[in-house]
Amino acid sequence: MGNCFSDLEGGKQAVGGGSHQRPQNVRSDAGHNDAVDHFFRTKGLHALFTKMELSLSASKLRDLDVLSKSDPMVVSYQKKRDGSLEELGRTEVIMNNLDPVWIQKINVTYQFEIVQPLIFRIYDVDTKYHNLPLKMLKLNDQEFLGEASCYLSEIVTRQNQSLTLNLHHRDGRSSKNLGTLTVHAEETVASRDAVEMTFRCSHLENKDLFSKSDPFLRISRTVESGGSIPICKTEVVNNNLSPVWKPVCLTMQQYGSKENPLVIECFDFNSDGNHVFIGKLHKSVAELITLHQNKTGANFISPPSGFRRHEKLLKGQLFVDGLIEKQLYSFLDYISSGFELNFMVAVDFTASNGNPRSPDSLHYINPSGQLNAYQQAIMEVGEVIQFYDSDKRFPAWGFGGRSYEGSVSHCFNLNGSPIGFEVEGVEGIMSAYASALQNVTLAGPTLFGQVINKAADIAGHSISDSHAKYYVLLIITDGVLTDLQETIDSLVRASDLPLSILIVGVGGADFTQMEILDADTGRRLESSTGRIATRDIVQFVPMREVHGGQISVVQALLEELPGQFLTYVRSRDIVPLNVGQSHSEAHTQQRV
Amino acid sequence: MEKASSRVIEVTVISGEDLRVNRRNPVKKNAFVIVRTDPLNERSTGMNTENGCNPTWNQKLVLDLPMHATFITVEVHSGNKIIGISRIPLSDFTGGYLPANYLSFLSYRLRDAKGEKNGILNLSVKVNGPTNMSYAASGSMPWFGGPVTNKFSNGTVTGIPVYYRV
């Protein structure tokens, strides 16, 4: 998850230039501020949302004005977790129109990991209010024309990102033809252009006493006031005066425009923080492209200092060995083009949960309706992901339970059927879970291997049909794994597939062992056959009761999903479905 | 059973990580990789002169894959020393549920002559050509009528010497 750069190794990491960057992080209130954004990210606080604009239009509105037509205006709200409504914005008033197309956009931030209910209310604004600023209009004084509601994720998963809703009365009274409202959502991303560059230097000056310099580059963007804002730095290469750094990927958001001058500075890394300046140069992205094409180097400059009034040209040179221009599509680009997230669930039926009939049990179904930990996890993850799954049929399994036949199974269908493992909708999962508790005896041990293999099978088979499905397996468990190595083996085998595994730990057990699976410390999982995981596909979080608070712990898990999805598709050069085929072929060329 | 003609595999050797000589000194330069499908079929990459112990090659090697082969070997060399080798079973990138011509991205632990861990090798593999019928990569479900244990077994067992420390 977040990185804390307080240790030496962390300090040497590359920052800001990864090609597998998280989806664009823009804080909704401030302007795009790289430094602040990055500050929050390194502390582990992910301001992970995408700005979107909603465009609204309506048709066949009721006519409430006597001598002319209605003058409609829309007010939009987002319903928060506690049920209260937060106003998002208002459109302008359009005069005399029953089929208005409003120009004023409503800004909303899209967050993958929460359910975002939106409500739109249309009012007919009386003529006497027409000269008042919009914000000052008292809605109670206006005539109500109709209301519509939907979820933001419903809109973005549509092909054309438009949704048409029927208007109805407040309080759901009978609504004869009140008309319809069409909402269209668009990401406010300026451009998808990005440039991936491989930098190399030669003849750098030696600034270390007993060894060679440990150089790294810092790239900054110049701003109008004359200063510069750093946008990325490379990793540190130890002890090398002719270093080659790993490729750095800069988005147009970061560099502004290809003509915008960038400042590239080279420093010698020192563990005490006093990095020694080696040299700098000014080049725009366009000039770097020329450097790459001509395969020439640019000399570093040392700015005037001391008694020297002029810049000194240094021997050290910067080369651009590799340069690829590409399009970085966002998560929503893929989703709106037809990519799906398929949800799968596996529930722990081991005896350590406790007898389901006892109120202490983690599987206790409370007759008052309060959800137990398992139900909560299923609900919170399921209700977010269900929008991204087109057929809403979810595979659901249990493990560690004994059916009436007598044998313990580590992957049995939750719906009790011998062949079909799918259920319909999140309600289907809940009812299959409740009935499985009646029919299955809790046994053990806790093994994930079979469930992971089954999910990997499904994900692997889907690849032959299309590349447009990504699978998410949610495993809810109360205990510690019995066979860690077998689970690791299954995970390594599944690591090259379009699959992410979210593990939620419920109850009070010690889950340190699970953190090994999460591999956030950077140690890649290694199977017993010597194969190493291609990527980190596991996220683990222990579930604790969270009272209040904006986002629950489980939903913090979901934040990682768009990033994992993007890592998978970008590493394979998979582009959104509506982008031309020739485009993707151009990117599968060798990069030398 | 179809008459099997030889298949061709494309191995793109991407990069290596943390390669050392004698378990202590990082490799300085000139690391290269030999990929072998059987004693007669091998190809090697060029030498990497710049990145030392984390070399990147990004080089595609095309080899014949005889029908009897069940694993391929990758060896990392520096100068005349063998840094580490890894044996990759075919089942890791063909057969089972993976479709034909699927580009697999794989990473393997390298072990030196003494069996000690010595770095990681990243590569991608694609098999071109007709797939053997026993590798059920077509649409039919492989677990009906398959082996009792119904996992990815295609008859190959990967043996791990006892002295390999995990």
Residue A3's pLDDT is 43
Residue A583's pLDDT is 43
Q: How many CB atoms lie within 10 A of CB A50?
A: 22
Angle (CA) A419 A425 A428, round 5°: 60
What is this model's ipTM? 0.77
Residues of chain B found within 8 Å of residue A533, distances taken between Cβ atoms:
107
Determine, for residues A532 and B105 on separate chains, whether the beta-carbon distance falls below 8 Å. no
Residues of chain B found within 8 Å of residue A214, distances taken between Cβ atoms:
none
Could you write out the DSSP letters of every residue in A442-456?
EB-----HHHHHHHH
Residue A251's pLDDT is 82
For A333-369, give one letter per residue: b (16+ CB within 10 A) or e. bbbbeebbbbbbbbbbbbbbbbebeeeebbbbbeeee
For residue B12, the chain A residue with the least C-alpha distance is A590
Give the confidence band of B143 by pLDDT, cuts at 50, 70, 90. very low
Determine, for residues B99 and A463 on separate chains, whether the beta-carbon distance falls below 8 Å. yes
Residues of chain B found within 8 Å of residue A531, distances taken between Cβ atoms:
88, 92, 106-109
Residue A174's pLDDT is 64
Fill in the DSSP letter of residue A171: G
Determine, for residues A530 and B108 on separate chains, whether the beta-carbon distance falls below 8 Å. yes
CA of A292 to nearest chain B CA: how many angstroms apart?
18
Candidate from A460, A571, A592 with C-beta closest to B97: A460
Tokens of A139: 């809605």
Name the strands in the sheet holding A117-124, side by side, starting at the edge strand that comes first in the sequence: A85-90, A72-79, A117-124, A143-151
Helices (H) and strands (E) in chain A, counts: 13, 27
Tokens of B3: 């008459």
A457 touches chain B (CB under 8 A): yes
Candidate from A461, A528, A534 with C-beta closest to B160: A528
Determine, for residues B103 and A461 on separate chains, whether the beta-carbon distance falls below 8 Å. no
Q: Which residues are registered as beta bridge partners of A284?
A: A261
B148 touches chain A (CB under 8 A): no
Longest dimension (CA), chain B: 52
Residues of chain B found within 8 Å of residue A532, distances taken between Cβ atoms:
107-109, 120
Residue B69's pLDDT is 85
| Three-state secondary structure call for residue A566 | helix
B108 touches chain A (CB under 8 A): yes
CA A91 – CA A102 distance, rounded (Å): 6
Residue B1's pLDDT is 44
Tokens of B140: 């039919």
Please, what sign has the CA dihedral across residues B61, B66, B67, B69?
negative
Q: What is the Cβ-side half-sphere exposure of residue A392, based on CA atoms within 13 angstroms?
A: 9
Residue A256's pLDDT is 79
Residue A518's pLDDT is 80
For residue B166, the chain A residue with the least C-alpha distance is A528
The H-assigned helical ranges of chain B are none
| Contacts of the segment A167-172: beta carbons below 8 A, 24+ positions apart | A167/A58, A167/A61, A167/A122, A170/A121, A170/A144
What are the per-10-residue average pLDDT scores of chain A (592 residues)?
Answer: 50 60 36 46 49 90 81 91 88 88 90 90 83 75 88 89 88 76 84 86 86 88 79 83 84 82 90 87 92 90 85 89 86 88 94 90 90 90 90 93 85 88 93 92 91 93 84 91 89 92 88 78 81 89 58 74 88 82 41 34
Q: Which amino acid is at A305?
A: S
Mutation to test the B interface, candidates A410, A462, A496, most B Cβ within 10 Å: A496
Tokens of A65: 């004005």
Q: Is the peptide bond before A445 cis (omega within 30 degrees of 0)?
A: yes
Fill in the DSSP letter of residue A97: -
Residues of chain A found within 8 Å of residue B104, distances taken between Cβ atoms:
496
Candidate from A464, A493, A571 with C-beta closest to B99: A464
A523 touches chain B (CB under 8 A): no
- Which residue, B58, B126, B61, B55, is CA-closest to B92? B126
Rg, C-alpha atoms of chain B: 17
pLDDT for residue B2 is more than 60: no
Helix (H) or strand (E) holding A465: helix A449-465
Q: Which amino acid is at A425?
A: G
Place of tokens 């209009």: A137
Give the confidence band of B38 by pLDDT, cuts at 50, 70, 90. confident
Give the confidence band of B134 by pLDDT, cuts at 50, 70, 90. very low
Angle (CA) B78 B83 B86, round 5°: 125
Residues of chain A found within 8 Å of residue B109, distances taken between Cβ atoms:
526, 530-532
Q: Are A97 and A106 in contact (CB under 8 A)?
A: no
CA of A460 to nearest chain B CA: how many angstroms apart?
5
> Phi, psi (5° rounding) for residue A503?
-115, 125
Determine, for residues A532 and B111 on separate chains, whether the beta-carbon distance falls below 8 Å. no
Q: Which residues are registered as beta bridge partners of A501?
A: A473, A538
Candidate from A496, A530, A533 with C-beta closest to B86: A530
Could you write out the DSSP letters of every residue in A237-270?
PTT-SS-BPPPEEEEHHHH-STTSEEEEEEEE--
CA of B12 to nearest chain A CA: how many angstroms apart?
9
Residues of chain B found within 8 Å of residue A456, distances taken between Cβ atoms:
97
pTM here is 0.77
For residue B94, the chain A residue with the least C-alpha distance is A460
CB burial of residue A470 (10 Å; 0-12, 13-18, 19+): buried
- Which residue, A313, A262, A60, is CA-closest to A167? A60
A528 touches chain B (CB under 8 A): yes
CA A367 – CA A268 distance, rounded (Å): 66
CA A264 – CA A258 distance, rounded (Å): 15
CA A289 – CA A321 distance, rounded (Å): 10
Q: Are A411 and A397 in contact (CB under 8 A)?
A: yes
pLDDT for residue B84 is more than 50: yes
> Phi, psi (5° rounding) for residue A372?
-80, 175
What CA dihedral angle connects A350, A351, A355 and A356, to 10 degrees? Answer: 0
Q: How does pLDDT run across B87-127, given as a tens digit for each residue?
A: 998 888 887 777 777 889 999 999 988 888 888 999 999 98
Residues of chain A found within 8 Å of residue B105, distances taken between Cβ atoms:
496, 534, 571-572
Q: Where are the beta strands (DSSP E) in A244-363?
A: 248-251, 261-268, 276-284, 297-302, 312-327, 340-348
Fill in the DSSP letter of residue B76: E
B162 touches chain A (CB under 8 A): no
| Three-state secondary structure call for residue B57 | strand
Please, what sign has the CA dihedral across residues A84, A113, A148, A369?
negative
CA of A377 to nearest chain B CA: how many angstroms apart?
29
